[in-house]
Amino acid sequence: MSGRLRSTVARHALRHHGARLEDAKIIALLIHGRGASAESILPLGDAVGLDGIAYVAPQAAGHTWYPQSFMAATAANEPYLSAALARMAQIIADLIKEVIMPPSMSE
């Protein structure tokens, strides 16, 4: 993979673990839970135990994607929930556009 992956990781401030970004054959996006961190979810890659995978993870502000329990009414977690989902959608779209699709297909 090219420097395009490194650029995407930097732009989204993703943490990285596993295969070197330039050498990765697979990119896995890991999302941490409430009270956890990007750094705490990344070692999950060691448990997978496969070579050639670069694990990347975003960090939620304040270690949570939304303020209330997931069982709370959706409105109680807004606008944080929508912002978190939009952030994940943008990260995934950028990974697809800049990493998975060849430059000739993304133009």
The model's pLDDT over 14-43, given as tens digits with 9 standing for 90+, comes to: 999 999 988 888 999 999 999 999 999 999
pLDDT at 1: 53
| Residue pair 24/52 in contact by the 8 Å Cβ criterion | yes
Which pLDDT value is given to residue 2? 59
The pLDDT, as a whole number, for residue 101 is 63
Q: What is the pTM of this model?
A: 0.85
Q: In the chain, which stretches have pLDDT less than 50?
A: 106
Give the pLDDT of residue 85: 97
The H-assigned helical ranges of the chain are: 3-11, 38-41, 44-48, 80-95, 103-106
Q: Pairing state of beta strands 15-18 and 26-29?
A: unpaired
The predicted structure's pLDDT at residue 61: 92
pLDDT for the residue numbered 104: 55
Under a CB-based contact definition with an 8 Å cutoff, are residues 77 and 51 in contact? no
